[in-house]
Structure 1
Amino acid sequence: SGIATYSQAGAQFGFNLLWTVLLTYPLMVGIQVVSARIGRVSGHGLATNLRRHYPRWLLYGTVVLLLVANTINIAADLTAMGAAVNLLVGGPTHAYTVGLGVFSLALQVFVPYRGYVRVLKWLTLALFAYVGVIFAVQIPWTTVALRTVLPHGSWSAGYITTVVAVFGTTISPYLFFWQASQEVEELHAKKGQQALTKMPSQGPANLSRIRLDTS
């Protein structure tokens, strides 16, 4: 969903939304660091921590909002994947979307976590294609710098909607829960690792790793 949103933002407004990076990046890193630390220190995800420390109405309200946000995000992710396949080979986008959804669900259900996460980590190398684009096309760096620090926006509905979409897909609720849960999964997957409340001596190494990983 992020890739699709950023691509549409660039296609519609060129460099005029680059200023959002100055806000979205530090906010995203800050929130991800906090979420990861909560998971690693407590040994529990955000939902469990909400249940243990806050009223039930807050927990249920948050989970319902998360469910709605996750459903929308997953739909956007799968639609973008289906559209990408359509661009590569042609054919029915909706069928690709449904097929990829079923395939992804089957992998999560039937493939053990340890093996699955290794493959996913290697697949992230595909993101270096963004770096390759810099060397493959001519980029007006002066314009890039100016549009990053000197916003050139408008009050049109399309522009405002795209700004909201950029912030929403970058600082998305499911990422907070996912980051904390990922730390808990890694905690259980590695022998000798415990929550930092039980074994504070593991703190320096893990907190440094979290800082590097999320930034």
Structure 2
Amino acid sequence: MHHKKSSSQKLVGLWKKLGPGLVTGASDDDPSGIATYSQAGAAYGLSTLWTSIVAFPLMAIIQQMCARIGLVTSQGLTGTLKKHYPKPVLYVMLLFSFPAIVMNIGADIAGMGAVGNLLFPAVDATYFSVLFTIILLVLIIYLPYQKIAAALKYLCIVMLVYFIVPFLYKQDFGEILKSTFIPTIKFDKDFIAILVGILGTTISPYLFFWQASVEVEEMKHRKKHLVVDKRLVHAMNRDVDLGMSFSGFVMYFIILTTGTVLFKEGIHQIDTVEQAASALKPLAGDLAYLLFSIGVIGTGLIAIPVLSGSISYIITETFGWEEGLDKKFHEAKAFYIIIAISLILGLSLNYVGISPVKALIYTAILYGITAPVLIAIILHISNNKEIMGENVNNRTENIVGFIALAIMAISAGTLLYLQFA
């Protein structure tokens, strides 16, 4: 009995220690990410499963660098850029990040609305989109950061539905293993575009900003200002690793679900999240469809505060305004107004006639172009002794960081070539 208690206490202890890394990881699998992974599975079966293995170390290392920058400098990424780098670098980053993140918010709101409509067909999808936007605004503005962080952490449990869905269907484990560990690359435009889409939605620039800023928020909430020592950096790395592995698993299982259920039934084109959910209904039963739909809404509720928070951190740090999710509305009006504007702009995209899928493709392209530039800047900051002191990158971190930079740059180049050739 005592042993059982100690294991459950360990689990509770681990859960309490999990910080921003888990939320960052979960928000990486937002509705737009789910749409991308679903399309990959539907179009190419299991042949993109290996991407989750390749993406994991790249995501983890870059996010660790961002978190460490936040810890060491007590500033977000934008603040560090503003202080140590030329102004044009800051403005180029703003120029690319803002439209991509707003489109991402729009696509996520549309995805949540569409799935709400699937669960309750009598209510139009646009009403659901407006409803979710209002709920998110109220929660972000009225709840203090600690409560938001705790709520987001519990919402991450919703993501576990993706681990159940594939097992409601008969699987060929030999084929799964082969697709996981032996990469398949087809040199045709659509396959390369899907690969770039997967990378763009996995190694996403908005997460770089969020991770650094949220580490600063976490530091403020600890009782005393902690010394950034090896132990603290190690704990932070473990948190990021857990979050990113969680993200990678969810991505893996979505490709696995759609790659077995939809691909084998001849459904190869998924344009929207609701198509992915409704396509599962006749093939894998009501339960799979319901779980998938709940997962989409849950991930939207996790991701949209992260997306809008990232935009707000970027802009408020650029102009030196009061910022922070731990502040009340009257203490950081500009910060919350920017969050509100980004949500309303995102929602309005659904009425402009840009289809959510088009928005996703544009987002992936903008992310794909921005990511290499940002990764190069993050690598530069992480190796800058003036900024980071003794917490500069080690050799392994630099090697993996430069591999991430090369892969993202090649992807962006190939994508642009395919798009405009």
Pick 1 or 2: higher relative contact order, CA cutoff 8 A, min separation 6. Answer: 1
Letter in 2 for 1:45: G
The reply to whether residue 5 of structure 1 matches residue 36 of structure 2 is yes
Task: Find the aligned partners of 1:169 and 1:97 in 2 and give their Cα distance.
Answer: 22
Pairing 1:108-119 to 2, within 5 Å after superposition = 108-119=140-151
Q: What corresponds to 2:386 in structure 1?
A: none
- Distance in 2 (alpha carbons) for counterparts of 1:78 and 1:42: 34
**1:182 aligned residue:** 214
Q: Measure, in 2, the Cα distance between the counterparts of 1:81 and 1:205.
A: 40
Greater CA drift, 96-105 or 110-119: 96-105
1:83–1:12 distance in 2 versus 1, CA, 3 Å: farther
Q: Distance in 2 between matches of 1:97 and 1:186?
A: 31
Runs of 5+ consecutive residues of structure 2 not aligned to the other structure? 1-31, 242-421
Structure 1 distance, partners of 2:136, 2:169, is 33
Supply the distance in 1 between the matched residues of 2:79 and 2:209 (Cα, whole angstroms).
Answer: 10
The equivalent residue for 2:234 is: 208
Amino acid paired to 1:213: D
Q: Give the Cα separation in 2 of the matches to 1:16 and 1:121.
A: 31
Check whether the contact 1:47–1:63 (CA below 8 A) recurs between aligned residues: no
- The separation in 1 between residues aligned to 2:192 and 2:114, in whole angstroms, is 24
Deviation, 1:112, is 1.4
Relative distance call for 1:193 and 1:84 in structure 2 (3 A) is farther
- The aligned residue for residue 149 of structure 1 is 181
Following superposition, the deviation at residue 173 of structure 1 comes to 0.4
- The residue number in structure 1 matching 2:74 is 43
Read off the aligned partner of 2:236 and give its amino acid letter.
I
In structure 2, distance between residues paired with 1:40 and 1:205: 12
Q: 2:192, 2:137 → 1: CA distance?
A: 34
1:192 lines up with 2:224 in the alignment: yes
Deviations along 1:94-151, one digit per CA (max 9) or x if unpaired, are 3322321232122212221111211111111111222223443322221122222333
Distance 2:161 2:225 in 1: 35
Q: For this pair of structures, how many residues does the alignment match?
A: 209
1:31 to 58, 62, 73: 62
Distance 1:13 1:79 in 2: 25
Q: CA deviation at 1:167?
A: 0.7
2: distance between equivalents of 1:104 and 1:18?
33
Point out the more displaced range, 164-173 or 125-134: 125-134
Q: Which consecutive segments of 4 or more residues in structure 1 shift more than 4 A?
A: none
Structure 1: gaps (5+ residues): none
